[in-house]
Structure 1
Amino acid sequence: MILVCLSILIVFVLLYYHLVYSPLTLWRRAGVAQKSVLHNFINSWFLFVKGQSVVDLIKGFYDEFPGVRYSGTYQFNSPILVIRDPVLIKKIVIKDFEHFVDRRTYIPEDADPMFGKSLFSLRGDKWRNMRSTLSPAFTSSKMKSMFVLMKECSKNFVKFFSEKNQEITEVQFKDISTRFCADVIATVAYGISVNSLENPENEFYIRGKSSTNFGTFSKMIKFIGNLAAPKLYKLLDVKLADKDEREFFTNLIEETIRAREEGITRPDVIQLLVDTRKGLKIHEDDTTEDTGFATVQEDKRAKGIAIENLTNEDITAQAFIFFFAGFESVSTLVCIMAHELATNPDIQDKLRSEIIKVGGSDLTYDVLVGMKYMDMVVSETLRKWPAQAGFERICTKPYEIAPVHPNEKMVKLEKGAVVIFPTVGIHRDPEYFPDPDRFDPERFNDANKHNIVPCSYTPFGGGPRGCIASRMAILETKILFYYLLSSFELVPVEKTCIPLTMAKNALLISVEGGCWLGLKKISST
């Protein structure tokens, strides 16, 4: 009996050592600061039952070891290096980009092409070539051509609430902002017109909302499963998007492609992809003024060869991920900016004064992007609440981080190592942004914005792999608030949560309860 118990104990100790202790002490052995084995085990395996928002999670990574340039953590048994120092971030994501070209593959291409073939998931030359194919759709000049389409959606949005016979209309702002973003994406990416406020149950909005909702248990399990056991999920043919969602978007995009090939043209993303497949050269005009300070600048190292043999599946993947990214992140930006303006009425009044000052018979692209205070407000919203709480890269070539401080050792990263950049932590660090919890657009005035430490402000990621659609996100937000603040004052109501509470167990930054605000009509007299 003693021998049996001893054997069981030995087996248990060996399993613990190889499956828990050894993988979860890698950083400690490499001389990198990390939390205890127990902390990392709990943090990895019980992440989604701990009741923690993604903002708290990423900021927690950043705050664990103040003063160090990097620290170690784990996702399940996989080591992750957290890069805290903006100088080192700049070196990794820009100067040494060739060592960190890729992101992790959350959904393999052959397991779920709708996600796996998208620009977000592609790697190496496949990513470069697709980025080069899509980039012309997101230049400033293309934004200028899409401006009219976005403006129409904004006018429809404001008109809907203006026609209500109420002095103050209480709205769940997350809900109405997702409807606005769905309408914008429908027209600028898919070439269709919907009005999701007038027609709240339209299929485009309903399917889109369902496909981007990662708060459901089934979607969460699918996402975690693809991270923890990708081969098993591939074998079981488990796809992230539900069957009806995949069929809806696939059929919609294929119908749109057929219409474009028959001669219908629109200044949108699908048109660009269809024209590229036909071998048409897309002219890029770099003379148009950019949409804002927070815009990700295109980098020549992201350049590849534009793909002319695009399949319908390729086009579907790009159009779907465009919806997936724009629907949730931009609607959250709109929702949070509305809340910040409602709870900071002096800032709202100053922005409205600028709108009145530049307002004419009709808004133009050049007038909008020339509004300095509007850009300051959007930039500060993205500082407190970045589009990405953090971003990551995969080491594609062996890389060494040389010691700088006396207590540092050489850190060697092998191919496949994961590094993350805790954006929200750096954005909330008083060393870079004093009094970080205060909403202060003056951080981004002409005198201050050029003093911002490079790579301490990365709301859309950084380097050649930064968000390709940052211009569009900024532009549609500015257009909406131009028209919204011309007709309404944003005010707190009884159900307004002050301060904002972030949703727990959500994969992206999301507001708990959806953010209730009041739209108070501005008297025309």
Structure 2
Amino acid sequence: MFLLLFLLVVTLLYIFIRKKIKQSFQYWKERGVPHVEAWTIFGNMTSIVFRQKSFANLLQDVYNQYSNQRYFGFYQFLKPALVIKDIELIKQICIKDFDKFSDHYDFLPEESDPFWKRGLFAMEGKEWHDMRTVLSPAFTSSKMKGMFHLMTECAQKVVDHFESQKLDVITLDMRDALTRLTNDVIASCAFGFKCNSFTHQNNEFYVMGNEAFDFSGIKGLKLFGSSISPALMKVFKITMFSEPVINFFRRIVKETIEYREKTGLIRPDMIHLLREAQKGRLSNDMENSEDNYTGTFKTDGDKKAVITDDDIVCQAAIFFFGGYDTVGSLLCNLVYELAINPDAQDKLIEEVDETLTACNGKITYEALMKMKFLDMVISETLRLWSPAIFLNRKCVKPFTIEPILPGEKSLHLESGFECMIPVFAIHRDPQYFPNPNKFDPERFSDENKKNIQPFTYLPFGIGPRFCIGNRFALLEAKTGIFYLLTRFKIVAVEKTSVPFVIDRSSIALRHEHGYWLGLKRRSKVM
């Protein structure tokens, strides 16, 4: 009797789930929108869940499948999302009608992870606008110049560490080395801590950074938490980062602020800038930047945002999270491309040597910023291996996409709906970047970059939600690779895996077989 009852319950549950899935996957069909068919509870994410494809490759495949469409429907598990291909429509959503798409779609509901929700990336509406306005002056070129010597100290220690090894060619996992470099830079520039992760291999910042960015396997699914089931995320209190990681940053920020208040120590790092913002003393010396777009956001009232101690903890922690892995991945992909494209590396080394000689052996911020080929190399690396595979925007007000192409119908988007912009696929569209899989820094030369169609190059986003830390990331990457190339040439070794295979277990764009490369000793320039 019990067995029959159990079988009956299972059968009814199966019928209910099948019916629910069928209803969910009628969304795009009912609206007459071209879409990727889905048959299982995973929607169009089945190949991701079972590690058959990387998310970047999946989006690129379906992007190419709908080559003649401005947009197409997609299912992240049971949740429908609209993937936008048309550049003019992307511009409309992200800039012209920004007030209707001002927020990122939530990875996790606020009730599940209030700490994450307090960070600038996850903030919404006027709260986001006010915090962005408060923080923007901390990321201007002049503030980055103040942090430059902190970065050079960290980069010099890395070079000294490897130069002390008496080998002509040092074979190593560059991911480990460059992640340690970015860890030390972020710890120094954000929190005022000197870690030296090469001497102190398991310092707290490095350990916590690795734990925070372990999105491998089942942990990576939290990035699709709201797509899977917001209710389950709330019930089980799924958070982006573990409690030990969050408590670590709370302790570090509190101790740092207390020490500086007691001693009067002033250091040009993020804690100092956030404290200045809290006291209303952060000067707004903004140059031309994407932040000028924030003026398009309509706000009510003149009340200034108040930044609390908890806000400082959260923003500093999110700054660490934002810079730790993304810049590390950028540097890994950069050194890999240089190793397998030696002509480009030789040209870059020539520019490094010329710049160092002109600076009498000590690089300056101004000289680094004038290095054109270095900028071209990093720009091309960001095109091929963008930190963000896709951008997302949440519709906060009802919006209608009017038909343009034959056969299109008006498409009404309700509040709360997600739109996705497939950056990785756009960057590899031959319509915008000829021979798109080739590493070609010359695309970004003064002569050629004018041929790049506006809004097709989106490594740091677009519009008011443009990455606030882009200057910091670029300066960190430029400083790191400059110092490395003053002493070493990056070469392929026996363990180097060619071609690049995107890791199917990682959300970030990483090589599935690692970054095993060699550092070949050079003679000193000066």
- Equivalent residue, structure 1, for 2:231: 231
On the 8 A contact 1:335/1:515 being kept in 2, the answer is yes
Q: 1:318 to 1:109 in 2, by over 3 A?
A: farther
- Equivalent residue, structure 1, for 2:250: 250
Amino acid at match of 2:117: G
- Equivalent residue, structure 2, for 1:333: 330
1:317 aligns with 2:329: no
- Equivalent residue, structure 2, for 1:299: 293
Q: 1:404 to 1:165 in 2, by over 3 A?
A: same
On the 8 A contact 2:21/2:41 being kept in 1, the answer is no
1:300 CA displacement: 3.0
1:302 & 1:191 partners in 2: Cα distance? 35
Amino acid at match of 2:114: P
Q: 1:488 to 1:415 in 2, by over 3 A?
A: same
**What are the equivalent positions in structure 2 for 1:407-486 lying under 5 Å apart?**
407-486=407-486
- Equivalent residue, structure 1, for 2:270: 269
1:96-155, Cα deviation, whole Å (9 max, x unpaired)? 111100011223344323312111111111111111121111111111111111111111
Q: 1:429 to 1:53 in 2, by over 3 A?
A: same
Deviates more, 1:295-304 or 1:343-352: 295-304
1:145-180, Cα deviation, whole Å (9 max, x unpaired)? 111111111111111111110000011011111101
1:489 & 1:156 partners in 2: Cα distance? 17
**What are the equivalent positions in structure 2 for 1:116-515 lying under 5 Å apart?**
116-217=117-218, 219-220=219-220, 222-225=222-225, 227-262=227-262, 263-280=264-281, 282-286=282-286, 298-301=292-295, 309-359=306-356, 360-361=359-360, 362-515=362-515
1:413-465, Cα deviation, whole Å (9 max, x unpaired)? 11111100000101001110000111000100111112211111101111110
Q: Provide the aligned length of Structure 1 versus Structure 2.
A: 513
On the 8 A contact 2:37/2:44 being kept in 1, the answer is no
Q: Please report the RMSD computed on the Cα atoms of aligned residues, expressed in angstroms.
A: 2.5
On the 8 A contact 1:130/1:307 being kept in 2, the answer is no
Consecutive unaligned residues of structure 1, counting only runs of 5 or more, are none
On the 8 A contact 2:423/2:459 being kept in 1, the answer is yes
Q: 1:306 to 1:188 in 2, by over 3 A?
A: farther
On the 8 A contact 2:380/2:441 being kept in 1, the answer is yes
1:83 aligns with 2:84: yes
1:466 CA displacement: 1.5
1:523 CA displacement: 2.6
2:304 & 2:164 partners in 1: Cα distance? 47
- Equivalent residue, structure 2, for 1:105: 106
3-state secondary structure, aligned to 2:510: coil
1:56 aligns with 2:53: no
Match of 2:18 among 11, 16, 19: 16
1:11 & 1:210 partners in 2: Cα distance? 37
Q: 1:6 to 1:299 in 2, by over 3 A?
A: same
State percent identity of aligned pairs. 40
1:11 & 1:192 partners in 2: Cα distance? 55
On the 8 A contact 1:59/1:425 being kept in 2, the answer is yes
1:502 CA displacement: 1.6
1:67 & 1:227 partners in 2: Cα distance? 27
Q: 1:142 to 1:232 in 2, by over 3 A?
A: same
Deviates more, 1:389-398 or 1:352-361: 352-361
1:223 CA displacement: 4.6
1:164 & 1:145 partners in 2: Cα distance? 32
1:469 CA displacement: 0.6
3-state secondary structure, aligned to 1:121: coil
Deviates more, 1:464-473 or 1:254-263: 254-263
> TM-score if structure 2 supplies the norm length?
0.92
- Equivalent residue, structure 2, for 1:115: 116
2:280 & 2:410 partners in 1: Cα distance? 49
1:8 & 1:335 partners in 2: Cα distance? 49
Consecutive unaligned residues of structure 2, counting only runs of 5 or more, are none
1:222-263, Cα deviation, whole Å (9 max, x unpaired)? 555554233333334343322322221211111112223332
Deviates more, 1:40-49 or 1:515-524: 40-49
3-state secondary structure, aligned to 1:283: coil
Q: 1:181 to 1:14 in 2, by over 3 A?
A: closer
1:12 CA displacement: 6.7
1:297 CA displacement: 5.3
3-state secondary structure, aligned to 1:513: coil
3-state secondary structure, aligned to 2:39: helix
